[in-house]
Structure 1
Amino acid sequence: MNKKSNLLFLIILICFTSCDKKRIFDEYKSVGQTWHKDSVVSFSFSQKDTLKPYNLFVNLRNNNKYPYNNLFLIVELEQPNKQTIVDTLEYQMANAEGTLLGDGFTETKESKLFYKEKYQFKNSGTYNVYIQHAVRHSGKITGVENLDGILDVGFRIESTE
């Protein structure tokens, strides 16, 4: 790359990172070609502010290989005192016609899914988040062994201000 290309790339990068003023934490992890039912995606972050509320999100990148209209997740939020909040969540991933929801111009879509709205952290310190899929076939007890179409799982914290 020449100097002009490098400068243009740097300006674009700065614009994208500086325009996201609400972001407190934002990280993605790849789950590979399929998301195994026993694979837990984990995130760790430090939180000092116990006064302001924050919005917490599970972010997903998925493609047309995702075969379902909805997605079930088990999300655990482990606090610094080792107390853990466990939630089983359901998200709609496609409309009635089967078209994937989410943002993106290609077959890969990015979904920003509310986990907790206006959540106030009770303790300062290190928090851990564990996310696992809990997708089941209708009428079956055992989970889907390998979930196709989910590429990356993310966790995001935003300021509500």
Structure 2
Amino acid sequence: MIKKSSLIFVLLVIFCTSCDKRRLFDEYQKVGNTWHKDSIISFVYEEKDSSLRKNLFVTIRNNNNYPFRNLFLIVEMEQPDKKIIIDTLEYEMANPDGSLMGKGITDTKENKLFYKENFTFPKVGKYFINIQQAVRKSGKIEGVETLDGVTDVGLRIEKVE
């Protein structure tokens, strides 16, 4: 006989996962207290149907310790045939008044940032996606050694409907 609490838990899990029909991949990695410029966040995505269009997002969780208005990232995608595509991306992370953008009711915000829109993976197989911060202070050539305020970095892939 199934306990009532077990049944409620199963129904809750089914409800939560069925609401997100577009999600194909959604994974986060913790950064720690600071994100070092040499620290690379890596994900492995296995493409099974290269005919479908997808939206790819970099997802960032950051808090009030994030000191900049923008975020610069270098994202590298290695395809199954070892071809590598490198993109340098810039995202706005704070409003002009300094308040953080993103979703969340606490001081931690989640930002779902477009990486590739209406993208079709060229081949079936494993893709290795590496994300590295490339923030620089205004007027400086060297990158910021350690970036405060970013707590988690993620990759999300959704079907285009």
TM-score w.r.t. the length of structure 1 is 0.94
Deviation of the 1:14 alpha carbon: 2.3
> Deviations for 1:62-98, whole angstroms, at most 9, x for unmatched residues?
1111011110000001100000110000000011001
Deviation of the 1:56 alpha carbon: 0.4
Task: State the distance in 1 between where 2:127 and 2:75 align.
Answer: 13
Deviation of the 1:49 alpha carbon: 1.1
1:1-161 equivalence runs, <5 A: 4-161=4-161
SS of the aligned residue for 1:17 comes to helix
SS of the aligned residue for 1:121 comes to coil
Task: State the distance in 2 between where 1:46 and 1:8 align.
Answer: 33
Deviation of the 1:6 alpha carbon: 4.6
Q: Does the C-alpha gap of structure 1 residues 104 and 5 become closer, same or farther in structure 2, counting only changes over 3 Å? A: farther
After the TM superposition, which segments of 4 or more aligned residues of structure 1 sit over 3 Å from their partners? 3-10
Q: Which runs of 5+ in 1 are unaligned?
A: none
The count of aligned residue pairs is 159
- % same residue: 61
SS of the aligned residue for 1:153 comes to strand
SS of the aligned residue for 1:56 comes to strand
Q: Does the C-alpha gap of structure 1 residues 77 and 8 become closer, same or farther in structure 2, counting only changes over 3 Å? A: same
Deviation of the 1:51 alpha carbon: 1.1
Q: Which runs of 5+ in 2 are unaligned?
A: none
Deviation of the 1:7 alpha carbon: 4.1
Task: State the distance in 1 between where 2:107 and 2:12 align.
Answer: 24
Deviation of the 1:108 alpha carbon: 0.7
Indicate the RMSD between aligned Cα atoms, in angstroms. Answer: 1.2
